[in-house]
Amino acid sequence: MTRFQLGVVMRVLVRRKSFQGKAKGEKLEMRIRNSIATVLFGVLAASVSWGQNNCGGSPAYGTCAAPAPPLQIWCAGNNAGSTCPGGTSWVGFDTTAPGAGSWSGQFEGIDAAAIIASGRTPGAQADPNGGVGPTNSSGVGQYLEFADDFVQAFDKKTGNGIFSNQSNGVASPQPINSLFAPGASKYCINPSLDGIARYDRLDGVFFLGNIFQSSGTYYFCTGVSAPDSGVPASNLQGSGGRNLWNVYVYSLNPAIPKNANGVAYFPDYVRFGAWSDGFYIAFDLEDISKSYDIVGFEVCQLDKVSMIAGLSSKPPQCYTYIPNYVVGTTGTAKSLIHTVLPADFEGANPIPATTAGEYFLALVNPSNFGTNNQCTISPCTSNQLAFWTWSGLVSGAGPTYLVTKYHPFTPGCYNTKAPYNTYCVPEPYGGVIDGLGDRLAYRLAYQSTGTGEVLAVAHTVQEQSTTKRTGIRLYKIKAGTSPSFAFIIDIQDTTNDYFLSMPSVAMDAFGDVGVTYTVTGNSSHGSVSNYDPSPYFVTVNSNGVVNTPVPILSNSGITGEDETDEFWGEYVSVSADPDDNLTFWAANQYMNGDQTSNCSYKLHLGTGCTWASRIFTCQKGLGC
């Protein structure tokens, strides 16, 4: 969820609360429940239809065009023909040659220690994610990572960073808002902690984006890498100690609908997907007047053709989904469907001409029988995912429901007294982590196989009702106009009763799925290899057979847990290497020593922060 560093931090904590040992190196044994699902596909009566859309209402509901497009208020393009207000002067990051070194299997990503060493102040949450680019004929390539509002590009050969605070200077993580300085500094000044870093394999560019807040206005500040003096956009080393980016700032306020009191909804938890006809972003809509309850979501298509060319862009096209049962004096004020994910392209095969268009998927939360009220009577289960295409949203269609006939689920950490309170994943010191069980986990991986289209996604589910122990539910879906499940599996630990949560997925050339996730110990069974929470990785073959999970830090000697707050790993990510389309690259986080209350942005300038991220690779059959 979005957590702005200044002035809004307590808001989210209040909202979420209002819904509210093994020896080092010991192998974590997992028992995998694996099954090929028999699936019923259908459109249920609850689907919003044309007759249930009231797009002119106050508030509007149904599937509707946004009140107005987001307004491009600034851009800067590295194109001589650019008409952007920022002109054609250099915009990008200073770079330096990577330091000598080598790595095997994993290397250190952005961490709080490096931010402090650079003279800057880290926050308490990392939320790392990233994307891997190609390696050129000279052996040069990068992995771009975002964590805690900082970015760094790591050389794939040495594992060392190349972004620096001056040309050919010392490598250090750079604040994401430095990409928009000085021309857009007054807009991109107060970022959320939920930024996105990806590599767009369709167009050969890196992408960065985040929601910012300034003087009551919400901005989406974004950029794509650009070519420089014969160096392609896919090489962030750039030329002459710098690289080039095309950057854009959009005011979201015109596009955000308002509640019955005329107050604009709050845009939260941005997600991203690369597609052939645009960049897609999605974010939740939260009602400030009702404790930030999630009423629905909004999706926008960005003009990637102009962005990649460095030209002033066309207005984004945006559509909102707010169910009819949410609004009004008798409305529930809470949508059972939110945090929709746009499909994010990967793989070597192009998107086929026969595609149904960009795909979107969301979890359907449990409701009391016969109602649209969040479930408050146990057992609380759901057996549905909500599916859209872009053309469906444009035409005002409601969701199509994918029904897991024999595989109902209870969202991880589901609380019947406060369904939005998804805190239950334990840490040994006695605190808990938000498992975000009420939503699908970022990202929705897409791949064209040459004979069809496939989606993969995962989320945190409850595996044991008494202890609330959580596991990972993984779906592989045959996409198209009539989507269906290829398989549904659960990954859980019944040996040590460890909690599994916060997954992210990608697919390789053979349709195998790579999954990174967090494993957390508990007070009765101790920590996971002496560090807790702990990043793990596992591969699942194209038929749904799960391989042996790999503990990423089992031999590192690192110890530590997060005693600061309840947020952890909400944007961890996996992507497949464009070089071979077989090697998975993942970013996840850990604690390099206990992080306590001294990790405070305002009081201690982040000096007590111990969070760190680890970038690691894995290939099915070669250690995974």
**Widest pairwise Cα distance in the chain:** 65
User: CA–CA separation, 222 vs 542, rounded Å?
Assistant: 35
Dihedral angle computed from the Cα positions of residues 440, 444, 450 and 451, in that order, rounded to the nearest 10 degrees: 20
- pLDDT per residue as tens digits for the range 330-347: 888 899 999 999 999 999
Q: Is the pLDDT of residue 51 over 50?
A: no
Is 623 within the bounds of a domain?
no
Nearest Cα neighbor of 455 from 482, 472, 475 is: 475
Q: Is the pLDDT of residue 514 over 80?
A: yes
- Which are the contacts of 615, defined by CB distance < 8 A and separation ≥ 6? 106, 107, 108, 109, 130, 143, 145, 154, 159, 585, 586, 587
User: CA–CA separation, 615 vs 624, rounded Å?
Assistant: 15
Where in the sequence is the domain holding 60, given as residue range(s)?
A: 9-618
Q: Is the pLDDT of residue 474 over 80?
A: yes
User: CA–CA separation, 98 vs 107, rounded Å?
Assistant: 14
Residue 4's identity, in one-letter code, is F
- pLDDT per residue as tens digits for the range 356-371: 999 999 999 999 988 9
3 state SS for 374-396: ECCCCCCCECEEEEEEHHHHHCC
Is 49 within the bounds of a domain?
yes
Query: Which residues are bridge partners to 280 per DSSP?
Result: 273, 301
Dihedral class, residue 591 (left if φ above 0, else alpha if ψ from -120 to 50, else beta): beta
When pLDDT is cut at 50, 70 and 90, the band that residue 398 belongs to is: very high
Q: Is the pLDDT of residue 579 over 90?
A: yes
User: CA–CA separation, 362 vs 525, rounded Å?
Assistant: 34
- pLDDT reported for residue 528: 54
- pLDDT per residue as tens digits for the range 417-429: 887 789 999 887 7
Phi, then psi, of 520 in degrees rounded to 5: -130, 135
When pLDDT is cut at 50, 70 and 90, the band that residue 437 belongs to is: very high
- Rg from Cα positions in the chain: 22
Phi, then psi, of 387 in degrees rounded to 5: -125, 135
68/78: higher pLDDT? 68
Is 443 within the bounds of a domain?
yes
Nearest Cα neighbor of 445 from 367, 522, 341 is: 341
Q: Is the pLDDT of residue 526 over 50?
A: no
Is 314 within the bounds of a domain?
yes
DSSP three-state, residue 113: helix
Q: Is the pLDDT of residue 44 over 90?
A: no
Tell me the whole-structure pTM to 2 decimals. Answer: 0.91
pLDDT-wise least confident of 291-300, 377-386, 600-609: 600-609
User: CA–CA separation, 599 vs 402, rounded Å?
Assistant: 43
Is 4 within the bounds of a domain?
no
User: CA–CA separation, 534 vs 514, rounded Å?
Assistant: 17
Is 479 within the bounds of a domain?
yes
DSSP three-state, residue 45: coil
Q: Is the pLDDT of residue 504 over 80?
A: yes
Domain count, the chain: 1
When pLDDT is cut at 50, 70 and 90, the band that residue 575 belongs to is: very high
Q: Is the pLDDT of residue 431 over 90?
A: no
When pLDDT is cut at 50, 70 and 90, the band that residue 328 belongs to is: confident
When pLDDT is cut at 50, 70 and 90, the band that residue 562 belongs to is: confident
Distances (CA, A) of 271 to 294, 344, 442: 15, 10, 7
Strands 484-492, 31-35: pairing is: antiparallel
CB 614 within 8 A of CB 536: no
User: CA–CA separation, 200 vs 233, rounded Å?
Assistant: 11
Percent of the chain with pLDDT over 90: 67
Phi, then psi, of 584 in degrees rounded to 5: -85, 135
- pLDDT reported for residue 17: 30
User: CA–CA separation, 323 vs 398, rounded Å?
Assistant: 9
Question: What number is the average pLDDT over the span 47-66?
Answer: 79
Q: Is the pLDDT of residue 249 over 70?
A: yes
Unique residue bearing structure tokens 């989507």: 483
User: CA–CA separation, 321 vs 297, rounded Å?
Assistant: 6
- pLDDT per residue as tens digits for the range 83-137: 888 877 789 999 999 999 999 999 999 999 999 999 888 888 889 999 999 999 9
When pLDDT is cut at 50, 70 and 90, the band that residue 531 belongs to is: low
- pLDDT reported for residue 234: 98
The string over 52-64, giving b where at least 16 C-beta atoms fall within 10 Å of a residue's C-beta and e elsewhere, is bbebebebbbbbb
406/237: higher pLDDT? 237
Is 229 within the bounds of a domain?
yes
Is 1 within the bounds of a domain?
no
- CA end-to-end span of the chain, whole Å? 31
- Which are the contacts of 177, defined by CB distance < 8 A and separation ≥ 6? 149, 185, 188, 189, 191, 212, 221
Please give the mean pLDDT across all residues of the chain.
Answer: 87
DSSP H or E run through 294:
strand 293-302
Strands 584-591, 573-576: pairing is: antiparallel
Residue 115's identity, in one-letter code, is I
Query: Which residues are bridge partners to 566 per DSSP?
Result: none
When pLDDT is cut at 50, 70 and 90, the band that residue 529 belongs to is: low
Unique residue bearing structure tokens 């306590």: 596
Q: Is the pLDDT of residue 187 over 70?
A: yes
When pLDDT is cut at 50, 70 and 90, the band that residue 13 belongs to is: very low
* Residue 373 CB-half CA count within 13 A: 12
CB 408 within 8 A of CB 390: no
Helices (H), 381-494: 390-394
Q: Is the pLDDT of residue 505 over 80?
A: yes
